[in-house]
Amino acid sequence: MSELHNTVLKILEKGKGILAADESTGTMTKRLDDVNVPSTSENRLLFRETLFSSSSMTDCIGGVILYDETIKQETSKKIKIPELISRMKSAPGIKVDTGAKVLAGSPEEKITEGLDGLRERLKEYYKLGAKFTKWRGVYSITKNFPSKLSIQSNAHALARYSALVQECRMVPIVEPEVLMDGEHSAEECYEKTSEVIKKCFEELILHKVDLKGIILKPNMILAGNKSKNIIKNEEVAKLTLKCLKNSVPSEVPGIAFLSGGQSEIQATENLNLINKYNDTDFIMSYSFGRALQQSALKFWSKNIRDIEGTQKVFNHRAKMNTLAAQSKWSKDLEV
Ligand code: 13P
């Protein structure tokens, strides 16, 4: 088995998932503003260090995606953050794109940047202990979008990124996120997501990326958050599975969903149902940001020195999602 394939299986073993704690300083500042905590580098570190030293890191969290600031920080006990994560038996990862910018030629849409100098940055992150990386392409659904241009150019960037990451002996997380914002139906989300994912694999194959050594991080198939046609969770799970079965090559070992603005419980419930109906060989787990951290952040913001209390809230969420990744979750476990 290749080293990269092994890394994927280790990150996603036994219902483990990924903690996406790679919010850029701008995004993290918004999150902290929302709970009235000043966004200083000390506070960002304190919250993250609290999560990364929780007991669920060993039992539930196979990998943590970090932001550039965090991977270079040390804990109050002078332990380097990647070292802390490794000691908890989890794998440190790093977001390497530099964000979504206006796409020339279709300025209502976005193209993710960060390829310039990427090979050199990857070498540095590898030395800092990173075992895997993330790059996110982002697509909106409206009447005319996503355009062929945005689908093609983001897929191309994701593939060039993935090839460079594997060259540097790390696992690329390939994240094409079709956003939940809008009035679109679940069927439209299904169609657009299928088109986006198929194009990504076309480019990944062209760039000779080893598909056994990647993790796909897609959105679930949902109706837009302003849609009038709300569908049942069962339907979300079935459409999501149908989409992935038809667009993801069978060599891909693992799929880890983003939460995309769903509530914590909704994301867990949908993940549980996806696993209940999963008749594929894909491991279906989570790579959640908000749906893993929201309650913990809220609690922490009011009890900033209560490490144990914050960890208890985070441990619960991580455990629920790890159960859902094995279709062992039920609502009565939430109380
Ligand atoms: P959410 O789960 O909050 O969507 O974040 C996941 C992520 O990493 C987005 O890039």
CA 222 to chain CA centroid, Å, is 17
Closest-lying ligand 1 atom to the alpha carbon of residue 290:
3
Report how far residue 40's alpha carbon sits from residue 62's, in angstroms, rounded to the nearest whole number: 28
Please say if the pLDDT value at position 280 is more than 90. yes
pLDDT at residue 335, rounded to an integer: 84
Please say if the pLDDT value at position 71 is more than 80. yes
Residue from 65, 220, 290, 292 to probe ligand 1 pocket by mutation (most atoms less than 8 Å from CB):
290
State mean pLDDT over 37-63: 98
pLDDT at residue 297, rounded to an integer: 98
Phi, psi angle pair for 66, to nearest 5°:
-105, 165
pLDDT at residue 8, rounded to an integer: 98
Closest-lying ligand 1 atom to the alpha carbon of residue 293:
3
Report how far residue 264's alpha carbon sits from residue 35's, in angstroms, rounded to the nearest whole number: 17
Query: How many angstroms separate the alpha carbon of residue 105 from the centre of ligand 1?
Result: 27
Please say if the pLDDT value at position 271 is more than 90. yes
pLDDT at residue 1, rounded to an integer: 75
Per-residue pLDDT tens digits for 293-312: 999 999 999 999 999 999 99
Report how far residue 82's alpha carbon sits from residue 68's, in angstroms, rounded to the nearest whole number: 11
Catalytic residue selected from 131, 134, 192, 217: 217
Query: In what helix (H) or strand (E) does residue 233 lie, and over which residues does it extend?
Result: helix 233-247
pLDDT at residue 226, rounded to an integer: 97
Closest-lying ligand 1 atom to the alpha carbon of residue 258:
2
Per-residue pLDDT tens digits for 86-111: 999 999 999 999 999 999 999 999 99
Query: How many angstroms separate the alpha carbon of residue 217 from the centre of ligand 1?
Result: 9
Please say if the pLDDT value at position 80 is more than 90. yes
Per-residue pLDDT tens digits for 117-138: 999 999 999 999 999 999 999 9
- Look up 331 and say whether it is catalytic: no
Domains of the chain, by residue range, sit at 3-334
Query: How many angstroms separate the alpha carbon of residue 97 from the centre of ligand 1?
Result: 14
Please say if the pLDDT value at position 19 is more than 80. yes
State which fold the 3-334 domain adopts.
Answer: TIM Barrel (3.20.20)
Per-residue pLDDT tens digits for 172-185: 999 999 999 999 99
- Residues whose beta carbon lies within 6 Å of some atom of ligand 1: 20, 136, 175, 258-260, 288-291
Residue from 28, 139, 288 to probe ligand 1 pocket by mutation (most atoms less than 8 Å from CB):
288
Please say if the pLDDT value at position 246 is more than 90. yes
Ligand 1, atom 4: closest residue by C-alpha: 260
Query: How many angstroms separate the alpha carbon of residue 313 from the centre of ligand 1?
Result: 19
Residue from 287, 292, 297 to probe ligand 1 pocket by mutation (most atoms less than 8 Å from CB):
287
Q: Please list, in sequence order, all residues whose beta carbon lies within 8 angstroms of the beta carbon of residue 215, skipping any fewer than 6 positions away.
A: 8, 11, 12, 18, 132, 171, 172, 173, 174, 253, 254, 255, 256, 287
State mean pLDDT over 23-36: 98
State mean pLDDT over 52-72: 98
Q: Please list, in sequence order, all residues whose beta carbon lies within 8 angstroms of the beta carbon of residue 21, skipping any fewer than 6 positions away.
A: 48, 51, 52, 64, 65, 66, 67, 70, 289, 293
| % of the chain with per-residue pLDDT over 90 | 99
Query: How many angstroms separate the alpha carbon of residue 119 from the centre of ligand 1?
Result: 24
Count helices and strands (H / E) in the chain.
13, 10
Q: Give the chain's mean pLDDT.
A: 98
State mean pLDDT over 63-92: 98
Closest-lying ligand 1 atom to the alpha carbon of residue 175:
10
Sorting pLDDT into bands at 50, 70 and 90, what band is 230? confident
State mean pLDDT over 180-203: 98
Query: How many angstroms separate the alpha carbon of residue 206 from the centre of ligand 1?
Result: 27
